[in-house]
Amino acid sequence: MVTLDKKVRISQLYSFYGNLLTEKQNKLIDLYYNQDTSLGEIASIFNITRQAVKDALKKAETSLEAAESKLKTAERFFLVKNTLKECIEFTKDENVKEKLIKLSEALED
């Protein structure tokens, strides 16, 4: 059973680094983490064993974690996002607040 924290983390890393994965790894991660497809269902789709699905997912997860370890893109993104949130919360200047909100929204696109 995968914890919610792991699901969220892998989904976030996938959104940043999914293009670095193979086509099959992309599909596996998307099915398992984003579409909540079971290992058995994925095994049927790819005509492989559940163990092969688990192994392939592990390899893809390792690739995503390795990319984040080297590039730190997700870490920096969330640091900027959280810092912007704090700035919006504490600024009193409505003009500045509006600009910060627009910047924060642009990060979500």
**Torsion over CA of 21, 26, 29 and 33, rounded to 10 degrees?**
120
Q: Which CATH number fits domain 4-71: 3.30.365.10, 3.40.50.300, 1.10.10.10, 3.40.640.10?
A: 1.10.10.10
- Beta-carbon contacts of residue 31 (< 8 Å; ≥ 6 apart): 37, 41, 42, 45
pLDDT in tens, 7-52: 999 999 999 999 999 999 999 999 999 999 999 999 999 999 999 9
DSSP 49-94: -HHHHHHHHHHHHHHHHHHHHHH-HHHHHHHHHHHHHHHHHH---H
pLDDT band at 108 (very low <50, low <70, confident <90, very high): confident
Where in the chain are the domains? 4-71, 74-108
| CB atoms inside a 10 Å sphere around CB 4 | 7
Q: Quick check: 93 pLDDT over 90?
A: yes
Q: Would you state the pLDDT for residue 78? A: 94
Q: Quick check: 1 pLDDT over 80?
A: no
pTM (2 d.p.): 0.84
